[in-house]
């Protein structure tokens, strides 16, 4: 429950900082629902200023995953399955669950900082909603900056007419706006994930080529090479303790 509360706080703080409307600038809370007396009882309605927030809630999981280590981990895991040549094993649910658990583990230092410096003070009433949002986004931006390439960050900062590139300091999280950092971070994560995925798939590609060449030389052209290469790739992966190496490499890449 504590982890769920932290993730919810991170999502609310991200939405508050990056997508908040001017109307909320002076408010300490977000009124999502309003209850007014009416004929036959109370009437529950949605204030007009809260409607954009309700529309953004379905996208909250995507926003959270895009701002964390989930993208890199998920892409590498699915590329691994593609390299093995197995379309259903491990199933999508297992890979997604592993990716989420590894993401929580990698992000745990930032989540603990957000929980201690923003979420708990907000629950205690010592910080307003906007102040907690500003406090919570700093550890997250620091993590994102460490994983973002300088060329990807400059791509979005230099093409934003509202930003002065001279004021952007990659060493200071508060100098980089989240609107430019988020796409730069996601672009860098995809590039890193494909680089790791290439190294993972390469040994399996060699096995596929060798098996296809051997079967062709033996004249067994009617036998699908995947039927022979899949057990060999599984044997290689298990022999070298592939899951331990892959998970360790993913954790060590952050």
Per-residue pLDDT at 10: 46
Domains in the chain: how many in total? 1
Which residues, other chains included, contact 148 with Cβ-Cβ below 8 Å and sequence gap of 6+?
170, 181, 184, 185, 188
Per-residue pLDDT at 154: 81
Q: How far is the C-alpha of 106 from the C-alpha of 67, rounded, in Å? A: 12
Tell me which range, 30-44, 113-127, 160-174, 180-194, is most confidently predicted by mean pLDDT.
Answer: 180-194
Helix axes 178-217, 70-84, angle to 10 degrees: 10
β-pair partners for 45: 34
Cα dihedral across residues 65, 66, 71, 72: positive or negative: negative
Helix (H) or strand (E) holding 35: strand 34-38
Mean pLDDT calculated for residue range 211-240: 82
Domain housing 17 = 2-22+48-199
CA proximity to 253, closest of 196, 202, 199: 196
Residue 213, domain member (yes or no): no
Residue 249, domain member (yes or no): no
Averaged pLDDT of the chain: 76
Residue 240, domain member (yes or no): no
Residue 37, domain member (yes or no): no
Give tens-digit pLDDT for 92-124.
Answer: 899 888 998 998 899 888 888 888 888 788 777
In the chain, what percentage of residues exceed pLDDT 70? 72
Residue 108, domain member (yes or no): yes
Per-residue pLDDT at 36: 59
Q: How far is the C-alpha of 86 from the C-alpha of 223, rounded, in Å? A: 17
| End-to-end Cα, the chain, rounded Å | 26
Q: How far is the C-alpha of 220 from the C-alpha of 43, rounded, in Å? A: 74
Tokens of 218: 């033996």
Give tens-digit pLDDT for 141-174.
Answer: 888 888 888 888 888 777 766 666 666 666 676 7
Mean pLDDT calculated for residue range 212-221: 81
Minimum mean pLDDT range among 45-59, 65-79, 111-125: 45-59
253, pLDDT greater than 90: no
Helix (H) or strand (E) holding 99: helix 92-114
194, pLDDT greater than 90: yes
Q: How far is the C-alpha of 117 from the C-alpha of 119, rounded, in Å? A: 6
Measured CA angle at 13 (ends 8, 16), to 5 deg: 125
Cα dihedral across residues 251, 252, 253, 254: positive or negative: positive
Residue 217, domain member (yes or no): no
Residue 253, domain member (yes or no): no
Residue 184, domain member (yes or no): yes
């Amino acid at each position: 429950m504590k982890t769920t509360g932290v993730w919810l706080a991170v999502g609310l703080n991200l939405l508050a900082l990056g997508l908040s409307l001017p109307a909320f600038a002076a408010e300490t809370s977000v009124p999502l629902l309003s209850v007014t007396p009416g004929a036959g009882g109370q009437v529950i309605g949605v204030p007009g200023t809260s409607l954009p927030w309700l529309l953004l809630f379905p996208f909250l999981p995507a926003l959270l995953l895009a701002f964390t280590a989930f993208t890199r981990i998920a892409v590498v895991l699915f590329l691994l399955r593609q390299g093995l040549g197995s379309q259903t094993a491990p199933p999508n649910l297992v890979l997604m669950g592993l990716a989420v658990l590894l993401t929580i583990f990698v992000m745990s230092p930032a989540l603990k900082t957000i929980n201690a410096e923003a979420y708990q003070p907000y629950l205690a009433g010592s910080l307003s909603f906007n102040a907690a949002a500003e406090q919570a986004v700093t550890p997250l931006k620091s993590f994102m900056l460490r994983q973002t390439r300088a060329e990807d960050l400059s791509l979005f900062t230099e093409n934003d007419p509202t930003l002065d590139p001279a004021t952007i300091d990659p060493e200071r999280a508060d100098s980089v706006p989240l609107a430019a950092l988020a796409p730069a971070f996601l672009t860098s994560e995809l590039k890193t994930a494909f680089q790791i995925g290439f190294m993972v798939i390469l040994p399996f590609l060699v096995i596929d080529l060798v098996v296809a060449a051997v079967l062709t030389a033996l004249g067994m052209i009617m036998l699908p090479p995947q039927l022979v290469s899949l057990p060999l790739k599984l044997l290689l992966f298990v022999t070298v303790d592939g899951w331990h190496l892959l998970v360790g490499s993913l954790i060590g890449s952050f």
